[in-house]
Amino acid sequence: MERILIGNLQEKKGETVLVQGWISVRRDQGKMVFFDIRDRSGTVQGVVLPNSGAIETAKEIRSEYVVSVEGKVNERPEKNRNAKVQNGDIELEITGLTILAKAEIPFELGGELNLDTYLDHLPFTLRAEKQKAIFKVQAEIIKAYRAFLGGQGFIEFQSPKLIGDDAEGSGEVFEVKYLYDKIAHLATSPQLYKQIMVGVFERVFTTGNVYRAEKHSTTRHVSEYTSMDAEFGFIKDHTDIMALETEMLRAVCGHLTALCKTEFELMRADIPTIPERIPAIKLREAQELIFKETKKDIRKEPDLEPEDERWMCEWSKREHNSDFIFITHYPVSKRPFYAYEDENDLGYTKSFDLLFRGIEITTGGQRRHNYENLVAGAKGKGLNPDNFSFYLQAFKSGMPPHGGWGIGLERLTAKMLGLSNVKEATLFPRDINRIDTLLSTDQKE
RNA sequence: GCGGGAGUAGCUCAACUGGUUAGAGCGCGUCCCUGUCACGGACGAGGUUGCGGGUUCAAGUCCCGUCUCUCGCGCCA
């Protein structure tokens, strides 16, 4: 007999079918046993009657046992229907029950858990409905991201994760012992490679893991995260990039509205609405605004603190009904060497951050595309251009005005779904003390 | 790295100012139950109170050290 998905059982009323899946819960009535079985498509109740021949096995099964069952799809009697659950109007009258695998679980699935208990048991806890919803949404974000950029003529490429010298300068870098006692590094960003690829394909994007060796313990940092990058040529300035990112977010949210409604309902979260134009404000203007409204004077700072980012998001929501806000024109001193200095606003760059529901989810901007200008930028940061001559070949060979963005996928997912810690939106988060399991103490510095 | 909070059963938590044998719910085990759907009922097992030291007649509770978690900050996506 061929396996039928539980989600298709409504069409099989009266028929005897083969269903395979996991036991969610067993309800033993003594002479008869009920259980809920789930597969990737849904859940249905099975009922094992005393004379079915399966009753002995039915008493043996426990939560998370993997089973193969044969049974007749029956409509339930009127008084035994349950409108609150999927397939509450039908049930499987079990005629055959085989245990494919036993299970021994550390605790019940779906209950409230402390974050570290959840993380210590990920192979099990990821099976919970909430977690499946989170990572289904995440998968759909990536799918929509690919579809949108593909439609805009972008070509996807795979960026290397093992790199030589770290010329990029965003964040602390993990060292890797390479062959013949050489030292390599884990990429903190695909930045330099995506710029090189603009010289090849003009419009490119990549989604992949990047690594930051910073010892912070916050709700928005992990050592390994997924960066959704894009970079494209022949732009007027950074506003072209912001406009395209706005369109991309609109496409992603539209996709989620179409495909992930149940997941958002389960998480009690709202899919953000993207305004026609996401508000954009210069960093200095934001600082003036904060000073005027809250008397907090950060006008000499080169960046916003988390508290200020939250305030700006509330302001954007209040004044512009937007969950998003662009902050532009960060000082040259604050940005990497390749950031493009605004010729009409010297000392400041044509760069931006995108804040979403209180947190920074994107950094982007126009880049220096002129070889001499780029080398000058590097020297201005005290960097030796010889150390990244490989990258500079792209510019020597002719590069168009270009720019792009990097989006933190897990941060975006977390804020979309109202998760308070980015680790909940990271499948297998790496942090200071944990890579799946706790790192042993004598391994640490 | 710094600052706040925390660490008690497999899980989630309780235990007033130090005071008898550290409790509950869920889970787990045995038994009862033919319409349950978080099934219900009876009984039971399960603890070095993170670890090490100290104060005290007496420590889960107070002190010191240490490890870990968590929240905030620096930094960043």
User: Topology of A6-101 in CATH?
Assistant: OB fold (Dihydrolipoamide Acetyltransferase, E2P) (2.40.50)
Closest residue (CA) to C1' of nucleotide B40 is A29
Q: Measured in angstroms, what separates residue A11's CA from nucleotide B40's C1'?
A: 34
**Whole-prediction pTM value?**
0.94
Q: Measured in angstroms, what separates residue A123's CA from nucleotide B54's C1'?
A: 42
Q: Measured in angstroms, what separates residue A59's CA from nucleotide B44's C1'?
A: 20
Q: What is the pLDDT of residue A444?
A: 38
Contact call for residues A189 and A170 (beta carbons, < 8 A): yes
Q: Extract long-range pairs of A259-265: CB within 8 Å, 24+ residues apart.
A: A259/A140, A260/A133, A260/A136, A260/A137, A260/A140, A262/A133, A263/A133, A263/A134, A263/A136, A263/A137, A264/A137, A264/A417
Chain B bases closer than 7 A to any CB of the protein? 1-3, 10-13, 26-29, 32-40, 67-77
Contact call for residues A118 and A429 (beta carbons, < 8 A): no
For A335, the 3-state DSSP assignment is coil
Q: What is the pLDDT of residue A445?
A: 36
Closest residue (CA) to C1' of nucleotide B76 is A171
Closest residue (CA) to C1' of nucleotide B69 is A116
Q: How far apart are CA A88 and CA A373, in angstroms?
A: 68
Closest residue (CA) to C1' of nucleotide B70 is A115
Closest residue (CA) to C1' of nucleotide B26 is A108
Q: What is the pLDDT of residue A341?
A: 95
Q: What is the pLDDT of residue A433?
A: 85
Per-residue model confidence as pLDDT tens for chain A (445 residues):
899 999 999 999 999 999 999 999 999 998 999 999 999 999 999 999 998 889 999 999 999 999 999 999 999 998 899 998 999 999 999 999 999 999 989 998 888 899 999 999 999 999 999 999 999 999 999 999 999 999 999 999 999 999 987 656 667 889 899 999 999 999 999 999 999 999 999 999 999 999 998 888 899 999 999 999 999 999 999 999 999 999 999 999 999 999 999 999 999 999 998 999 999 999 999 999 999 999 889 988 888 999 999 999 999 999 999 999 999 999 999 899 999 999 999 999 999 999 999 999 999 999 999 999 999 999 998 888 988 899 999 999 999 999 999 999 999 999 999 999 999 999 999 988 888 888 765 443 3
Q: What is the pLDDT of residue A167?
A: 58
Q: Measured in angstroms, what separates residue A204's CA from nucleotide B49's C1'?
A: 57
Q: What is the residue type of A430?
A: R
**Domain segments of chain A as ranges:** 6-101, 116-443
Q: How far apart are CA A13 and CA A54, in angstroms?
A: 21
Q: How far apart are CA A190 and CA A207, in angstroms?
A: 9
Q: What is the pLDDT of residue A168?
A: 64
Query: DSSP letter string over A172-228?
Result: ---EEE-GGG-EEEE-S-SHHHHHHHHHHHSEEEEEEEEE-------TT--SEEEEE
Q: Which nucleotide is nearest to A76 (CA to C1')?
A: B35
Q: Measured in angstroms, what separates residue A421's CA from nucleotide B18's C1'?
A: 38
**Candidates 1.10.150.110, 1.10.800.10, 3.40.720.10, 3.30.930.10; correct CATH number of A116-443?**
3.30.930.10
Q: What is the DSSP pairing of strand A155-156 with strand A203-211? A: parallel
- Report the phi/psi class of residue A370: left, alpha or beta, with left for phi > 0 and alpha for psi in -120 to 50: beta
Q: Measured in angstroms, what separates residue A434's CA from nucleotide B25's C1'?
A: 31
Q: Measured in angstroms, what separates residue A232's CA from nucleotide B1's C1'?
A: 39
Contact call for residues A189 and A406 (beta carbons, < 8 A): yes
Which backbone phi and psi does A352 adopt, to 5 degrees? Answer: -150, 155
Q: Which nucleotide is nearest to A34 (CA to C1')?
A: B36
Q: What is the DSSP pairing of strand A280-282 with strand A324-328? A: parallel
Q: Is the ipTM, as predicted for this complex, more than 0.95?
A: no
